[in-house]
Chain A
Amino acid sequence: MKKLIIGLCAATALVAITAPAVAKDPIEVAVIVKATNSEFWQAVLVGARNYAKEHPADVTVTTNGPPAEADIAKQVSILEDTVSRGPKGIVISSTSSEATVPAIERAMSKGIPVVTIDNRVKTDKVASFLATDNAAGGKLAAKQLAEQLKAMGKPLKGKVALISSMAGVQVLIDRDSGFEAGLKEFAPDLVLLKPRYVNNDIFNAVNTAQDLVLSNPDLVGVFADNNTTGSGVAKVLTETGKKDSIVAIAFDSDPQEVEALRSGALKALVVQDPYGMGYKGVDSIVRALAGEKLPAYVDTGANVVTKANMDEANYKNLLDPLGRAIK
């Protein structure tokens, strides 16, 4: 605690010293993502870059990250190099919850505020933590399922299937347990079947959805907890002609899911806001450098997109964050 106070004092002092300079030169914020090969992380970078483009006099953004998410060592060395180089602030989505802790603590002690996004790291020496509350997202999916059934004039009775991409992944566990809790709250008479796991294999997802639809004539809803399972469920409901009798809600967004939302095979998508993570991440650094006290945790929000609102600007942006890049 003492260390933290000293660190904070040091950081504030540093900010105070450098503050006059800030007004002239734009501050450099380094943004490090988990992987550069995924649309999700590209969306984070678009958000961060857009912030810099909207505030050209105040902020410049440099971006970096390993090519693949599995490359933890690479990300750690990227972070270490960045800390040595000394930008004014760092925004990082750390793949490992532990491996990056020493470098993050070193940056903080050097007076470089670090904002973590998406994944929590095991230290409280960060300026702020921004992430999606996946459990809240799962709950939203359950609420949406109940509302859509009501809107169709159906009683909230029958079975609901849960097709999960993989067992043992924390983010998915949060989504699924959030969904289960939500179902108990919003539609306690719906019976949730045991989850089926499909190893993130879309063929497996299709096969499993086929089996569940066939063996449960009283199935009224399906929750698919990522884009692979969502696309698989949509395909089966379209093929079997059950897209109007079974309400399917899925997480994430990809072109197949968006198409399914438009066709009605999926009734709603619960999407995160990676763009917001990047944008707000850089904004948090700016505010930290200005001496503002940031909240320890910020929920960047999970949002429900339906056929009815999918063409509104806000939701369109959530479905296609890459399209928001300022040229």
Chain B
Amino acid sequence: MADKVATSDSLGLARIRRFNIGTSATLMVIVVILFVFLTATSPVFLTAANLSNLLRQTSINGIIALGMLMVIITAGIDLSVGAVVAIAGIVNALMLQAGVSMLVSIPLTIAIGAAIGMFNGFLVFEVRITPFIASLGTLTIVRGLVMIISGARMVANLPSGFGRIASAEFLGIPSMFIVWMALFVLTAFLLSYTQLGRNFFIIGSSPEVARLSGIRLRPNIYAVYGLCSAYAALAGILLSARLSMGVPTAGISYELDAIAAVVIGGGSLFGAAGSALGAVLGAIIMQTIRNGGNLLGVDPFALEVIIGALILIAVGVDQIRVRRAERG
């Protein structure tokens, strides 16, 4: 029994890894093409100032996408991440305003985020509500709570040290990007080298197989939704640091950008596919197009069409490539 699991497990992972390297290679090519094109058409695109802006602009969605990736790998989805971004920004800002040190408020806010994710896990595992509906309910509840807590008003006048979390640079690299990359390394490690990460893939390919293989679903489901929300809460804290205030309406529809980044990056809503590198590249591609569109003054509505088309092309091309690879 144990042998069998190990074999199918490692076989599955080998297959996943092979495909994901292929996906990431395709995405790298897209990124390079975009960078070459924008460098040729805009004099400011490849300047330190713009690249630094671009990295800061991408980090929020990039962080949320890494959490979303893990949930999507288990064949789940979390629509509540945008609402978690808002509540984290507000709760942390209120604590700071009340004089709580950020060394306390930040971990506490991330813990609150994780608790909201656990609530999603509870709904999905114990109550057996499909993740789409469970997290839709949570989204609505949390959005309401944000308005109640904040009185629908922005929470400003935060200590200046807090804003510096987002504006700081190390060797010219924006801190927000460094946080994102740290989470990228953590997520990639977790998915590739830990039992928890492997469990996510197995649950995503078939919860039944996972159960028969002796994987306990409960802790894994709680963990994956908890992690996703904790990432979103961290993104919310960084966002409020970037804006120097908690914004009750922040993060609206951020879940869709995160899902798009994951899917462009080779994730599948059927589960058991996707990689941290892919999600990172997916987020970079999306924001690079927006940034480039602004720099070049592309018609804003045409830009939306372009981004939508790009999502479909990236996913479509990848599907064709994977099918060819499967045929041998």
Seen from chain A, the residues whose Cβ lies within 8 Å of a Cβ on chain B are 37-39, 167, 193-197, 199-203, 206-208, 210-212, 214-215, 228, 235, 239, 254-256, 259
Contact = CB atoms under 8 A, between A and B. Distances in A.
Interface of B: 42, 44, 47, 49-50, 53, 57, 60, 147, 152-154, 156, 167, 239, 242-245, 247, 249-250, 252-253, 290-291, 294-297, 299-301
A195 to B, nearest CB: 7
Contacts of A207: 53, 57, 290-291, 294
Nearest to A196: B300
A214 B295 contact: yes
Given A211-B295, A235-B243, A195 B300 contact: yes
B88 to A, nearest CB: 14
A194 B300 contact: yes
B61 to A, nearest CB: 10
Nearest to A39: B153
Given A194-B300, A201-B252, A256 B154 contact: yes
A211 B53 contact: yes
A256 B239 CA distance: 17
Given A208-B294, A235-B243, A37 B300 contact: no
Nearest to B298: A194
Contacts of B247: 202
A195 B245 CA distance: 26
Contacts of A37: 147, 152
A213 to B, nearest CB: 10
B300 A200 contact: no
A188 to B, nearest CB: 20
A207 B249 CA distance: 17
A167 B303 CA distance: 13
Nearest to B61: A203
Contacts of B53: 207, 210-211, 214
Nearest to B167: A239
A210 B57 CA distance: 10
B57 A201 contact: no
A105 to B, nearest CB: 33
Contacts of B49: 214
A255 B156 CA distance: 9
A106 B243 CA distance: 49
B251 to A, nearest CB: 8
A203 B295 contact: no
B249 A203 contact: no
11 contacts: A39-B153, A194-B299, A195-B300, A199-B253, A202-B249, A203-B243, A210-B53, A211-B294, A214-B49, A215-B296, A228-B249
